[in-house]
Structures are given as structure tokens and as C-alpha cells.
């Protein structure tokens, strides 16, 4: 990991740069796939599945038989862990329900807001080197609580044309309505346009590699909403001498093993801790099964020393981390003043892994600095707020003249007439 001491403020943007390609680097490839899927449907899907996933499939829709087989292949121990996590995620997201908000803004003018579920949602679940069945919990559980009628899931098949049994078990447990063996750009395109078998959805959720991230962003050009531009995973830890160096190193590596394009950063007011963490990262990394991936990510990562908490916090808010771990004596200063972070983990015994799996919070979070303007997935992500109003005779008398004056000032005579006619009738 690259060590940086007391960086000048004018170097922060360069130091904090993510190791990702730009949309421009990838957009051409994505648009080509989109055009073909829109024009050819399943034929194009199958062609790209063969090209990228190295398998030819007779059917991309998962059958009941495949789900039943998957249930038998998942250990009871893992099933119990998934059920525990599901329970905590349900509890946290169900608590986010809000009642109807009603206000009589003036006598005779009643306004209220109610929430309605998005009817059709698509979930993208990465497979590949790490089958993220935990992401199904994070997406399908709140989708069900919200009341989404159709929950479509796409995940890439392996070279045998199968999806990891834990993905199928979890999807079935969480009420996913249809599961497809489709990955990458072609999956996002399929859910964007619809094919002979894949339903078109209104909003797409889920993380993925840089190609999936760009595909989701381009899907918005074709009338489909997305949760956020969620790309390669990232973590920033702020720590001082009160932190446990082995814990900090384990957290950094837990994100580094996600993918070679992941990034982890330690910001510290202690040079001694930085040295200790660096040693721990090396020793812990050596025994990881995903050592090669973690080492590549670590090469993109930084150990940054700053003089004080104020400067540390300013740098962290500039970065806007997806995951933010706070292991310092003055933790309240960071908790109270952090402005840009997807999810915050506090204290030596709160690993980021807890949020990834079973504490109850959602792990689908904004990356690449988007924590400055996006929230992580929550119950409202699967809902729309609709406003209603009802105006009585008294109400239109009270606000009618103001509407007439404002409409006339904007030169919109028909708007004024809509009120004038009603007032004259009274």
C-alpha cells in the first residue's frame, strides 16, 4: 500500500482518485450490446452469454426443479445463517415504513402524501468469483416489504450453465418471482427492454463490475430508473492509537478481496498505527484464498497520515466513501460531522462485514464518490411518493385569487380560467 504523509490539499483529488475506467471507455461496448438485445431479444442474450460466460443455454429461465435441487445443496448451517440475516434485514427495513402525511394547508385545502410500491423491479446479482447471495437479501427483502408485485432477478451462469445454489435458495426464500441465467451488460439490457422471456422492469437494482455499472447508467436513457451508480467496492477506515491494527487490516482486506478494481484507504493520525497495519495487511493477505485479487486491490490503495481529526474528516468528506469505519477515541466528532458516506461502522467491534451480511442495514451503497449525492438502498428505494389534494368550495375561494394573479403573471391564461370559472360558479 502506498504511504502518504501530510498531503497538501491541492493534491487530494489526485490521491483519492478511484482506479476505475470512465463511462467513455466502456460506453461504446455497452451501447452495442443494448442495440442488439433491443432488436433481437433472447437471440442476442444467448449470443453474449456464450461469448462472455462460455456456455450455451437451452433456457435462461430457472425452473422449479432447479430451485428444488438448490435447496438440497445448501447446508443447514448456511440456511440458518441466511434466515437470521433475513430476519434482521426485515426488522430494520420494516421500521422504515411511514404513515400517510396529511395537512390542511388552509381551510378547505387538504393535501396528503402516500407511498406506493414500484410494480416491477429488476435485481442484478453478481456471480463469477463471488456469488453474492447476500445481495438478494438486501434487495428482495425490502422489495417485498414495499409490496413490489414483480421481482425479476438476473445472475450470470457458470460454465456448466448453473447458478450457485445459495443464490437460488435465497431468491426463492425472499419471494423473487422469476430468476434468469443472464449476466453482465446483456442482463441489464434484457431488463431494460424486455425480451421474449425477460420482463421489462421499471427500476434496476444491484452492484456489478464497471461494465454493469455503465450499463445501468445507460439504461436510464431508455426510461428505466436505477438505484444508484454502484460499482467496485471501496472502504475507508479512520483510526488512531486506540484502534486494533489487526482488526483494521482485516477490514481493509475484506473489501480488497471483492475485486482487483476495489480500493481501500486508511486515514490515521498515528504513524505507529500505519506501520502496524501495513505489517498486518501483508501477513493476513498471505493466507487468503483470494490473495491474488486482494493484492491487486491493495496496489490501488493508500495509507494516509494527517496531523489531526479536523483534517482527516475534511479529507474523508472529500472522498465520500461507500463504507466508512470509525476506530478513534473521539468517535463522536466523526459521527456528528461526516457528510458523505454510504454506511458508517463505529468502534473496534463493528466490522464492515456485519453490514454486508447480518446486522440489518443494507449493503447496496453508492461508490465512486456518489455518496455525496446518493443514499444507499432502503425501503423508499422501492417506493414512490404520490401527492393528493382535495379542495372544497371554501378552499378555492381562499386560494383562487392568488392562483389567478400568479397564472396571469406567467402568461398562462388557461390556468387562470380554470380557477376563474370555478370562482364565478360560486
From the annotation, which residues make up the binding site for Zn(2+)? 255, 258, 356, 415
Q: Give yes or no: 322 in active site.
A: yes
Q: Name the burial class of residue 70, with classes exposed (0-12), middle (13-18) and buried (19+) by CB atoms within 10 angstroms of its CB.
A: buried
Q: Is the dihedral of CA 246, 248, 251, 256 positive or negative?
A: negative
Within its chain, how far is the Cα of 206 from the centroid? 6
Binding residues: 124, 186, 209, 233, 255, 258, 323, 356, 410, 415
Sign, CA dihedral 421-422-423-426, equals positive
- From the candidates 93, 257, 295, 323, give the one annotated as an active-site residue: 323
Extract the C-alpha cell encoding 360: 440489518
Known catalytic residue at 257: no
Q: Are 194 and 218 spatial neighbours (Cβ–Cβ below 8 Å)? A: no
Nearest CA among 207, 215, 225 for reference residue 148: 225
The set of cell numbers assigned to 32 is: 452495442
- Strands 263-268 and 234-239, how do they pair? parallel
- Cell numbers 439504461 correspond to 219
CB-count exposure of residue 67 (10 Å: 0-12, 13-18, 19+)? middle
Cβ–Cβ < 8 Å for 142, 381? yes
Asked whether 166 and 72 are in contact (CB, 8 A), the reply is no
121: left (phi over 0), alpha (psi -120 to 50) or beta: beta
Report the binding-site residues for substrate.
233, 255, 258, 323, 356, 410, 415
- Beta pairing, strands 109-117 & 101-106: antiparallel
- In sequence order, what are the residues at sequence separation of 6 or more whose Cβ sits closer than 8 angstroms to the Cβ of residue 347? 326, 327, 331
Residue positions forming the annotated binding site for NAD(+): 124, 186, 209
Considering the candidates 234, 257, 280, 322, report the single residue annotated as catalytic: 322
Q: Which of 54, 58, 45, 41 is nearest to 182 (CA)?
A: 45
Q: Which residues are catalytic?
A: 322-323
Amino acid at each position: 500500500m502506498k504511504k502518504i504523509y501530510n498531503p497538501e490539499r491541492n493534491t487530494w483529488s489526485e490521491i483519492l482518485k478511484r482506479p476505475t475506467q470512465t463511462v467513455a471507455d466502456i460506453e461504446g461496448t455497452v451501447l452495442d450490446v443494448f442495440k442488439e438485445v433491443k432488436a433481437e431479444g433472447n437471440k442476442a442474450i444467448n449470443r453474449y452469454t456464450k461469448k462472455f460466460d462460455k456456455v450455451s443455454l437451452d433456457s435462461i429461465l430457472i425452473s422449479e426443479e432447479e430451485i428444488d435441487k438448490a435447496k438440497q445443496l445448501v447446508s443447514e448451517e448456511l440456511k440458518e445463517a441466511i434466515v437470521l440475516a433475513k430476519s434482521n434485514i426485515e426488522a430494520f427495513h420494516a421500521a422504515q415504513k411511514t404513515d400517510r402525511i396529511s395537512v390542511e394547508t388552509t381551510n378547505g385545502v387538504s393535501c396528503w402524501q402516500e407511498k406506493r410500491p414500484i410494480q416491477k423491479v429488476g435485481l442484478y446479482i453478481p456471480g463469477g468469483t463471488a456469488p453474492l447471495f447476500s445481495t438478494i437479501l438486501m434487495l428482495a427483502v425490502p422489495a417485498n416489504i414495499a409490496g413490489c408485485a414483480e421481482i425479476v432477478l438476473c445472475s450470470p451462469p457458470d460454465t456448466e450453465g448453473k447458478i450457485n445454489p445459495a443464490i437460488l435458495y435465497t431468491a426463492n426464500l425472499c419471494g423473487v418471482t422469476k430468476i434468469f441465467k443472464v449476466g453482465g451488460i446483456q442482463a441489464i439490457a434484457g431488463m431494460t427492454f424486455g425480451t421474449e422471456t425477460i420482463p421489462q422492469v421499471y427500476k434496476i437494482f444491484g452492484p456489478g463490475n464497471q461494465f454493469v455499472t455503465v450499463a445501468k447508467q445507460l439504461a436510464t436513457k431508455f426510461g428505466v430508473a436505477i438505484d444508484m451508480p454502484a460499482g467496485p467496492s471501496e472502504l475507508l477506515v479512520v483510526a488512531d492509537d486506540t484502534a486494533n491494527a489487526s482488526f483494521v487490516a482485516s477490514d481493509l482486506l475484506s473489501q480488497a478481496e471483492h475485486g482487483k478494481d476495489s480500493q481501500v484507504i486508511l486515514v490515521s493520525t498515528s504513524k505507529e498505527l500505519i506501520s502496524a497495519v501495513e505489517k498486518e495487511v501483508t501477513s493476513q493477505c498471505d493466507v487468503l484464498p483470494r490473495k491474488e485479487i486482494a493484492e491487486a486491490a491493495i496496489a490501488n490503495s493508500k495509507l494516509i497520515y494527517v496531523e489531526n481529526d479536523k483534517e482527516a474528516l475534511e479529507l474523508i468528506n472529500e472522498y465520500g466513501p461507500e463504507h466508512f469505519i470509525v476506530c478513534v477515541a473521539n468517535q463522536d466528532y466523526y459521527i456528528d460531522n461526516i457528510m458523505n458516506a454510504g454506511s458508517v461502522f463505529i468502534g473496534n467491534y463493528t466490522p464492515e462485514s456485519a453490514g454486508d451480511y447480518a446486522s440489518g442495514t443494507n449493503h447496496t451503497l453508492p461508490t465512486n464518490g456518489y455518496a455525496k449525492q446518493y443514499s444507499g438502498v432502503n425501503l423508499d428505494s422501492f417506493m414512490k411518493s404520490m401527492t393528493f389534494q382535495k379542495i372544497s368550495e371554501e378552499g378555492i375561494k381562499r386560494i383562487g385569487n392568488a392562483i389567478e394573479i400568479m397564472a396571469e403573471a406567467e402568461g398562462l391564461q388557461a390556468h387562470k380560467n380554470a380557477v376563474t370559472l370555478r370562482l364565478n360558479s360560486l
